[in-house]
Structure 1
Amino acid sequence: MKVNINNKETETAAKSVAGLAEELQLPAKGVAVAIDNKLVARTDWSITPVEEGDNIVIIKAFCGG
């Protein structure tokens, strides 16, 4: 299915946010995910579905200043 990740159309087979995180090899910590402008709590990643056409924003924290 096709979703938009950070404004880029992406093909994914993931059925949940957790599956998408694994597919994209996201780090275990320091990552936030929002679907259609709604933040998804990490504890809900495994139960939050990813659906065709979703607008997903992934933010990675980094050190620096």
Structure 2
Amino acid sequence: MNITLNGKIVFLDKKMMVDELLEVTKAQTPEYVTVQINNEFIDKADFGITPINEGDTVEYLYFMGGGQ
């Protein structure tokens, strides 16, 4: 199954949920990542029940704070 992850084509050997994808792709600081699938934000509570489907476009987004 092919998806686009952060702008790159990635092959997945099986269907998986968002939480599995984060683990398989070794996402940096997965506890802080925001996931968007096909331009829709996925609630962290739904990572374990939201499937990744053939052709999906997935983005890992990291929001950083800072300043004075």
Q: Which has the larger radius of gyration?
A: 2
CA distance in structure 1 between the aligned counterparts of 2:9 and 2:30, rounded to whole angstroms: 24
Runs of 4+ that moved beyond 3 A: 61-65
**Change in 2 beyond 3 A, CA 1:22/1:64:** same
The TM-score normalised by the length of structure 2 is 0.81
The structure richer in helix per residue is 1
- For structure 2, the 5+ residue unaligned runs are none
Question: Identity over the aligned pairs, expressed in percent?
Answer: 29
Note the C-alpha offset of 1:30.
Answer: 1.6
TM-score (norm 1): 0.84
CA RMSD, 1 decimal: 1.7
Measured against aligned partners, the alpha-carbon deviations of 1:25-45 in whole angstroms (never above 9, x if no partner) come to 222322010000000011100
Q: CA distance change for structure 1 residues 21 and 33 in 2, over 3 Å: closer, same or farther? A: same
Give the number of equivalent residue pairs.
Answer: 65
| 5+ residue gaps, structure 1 | none
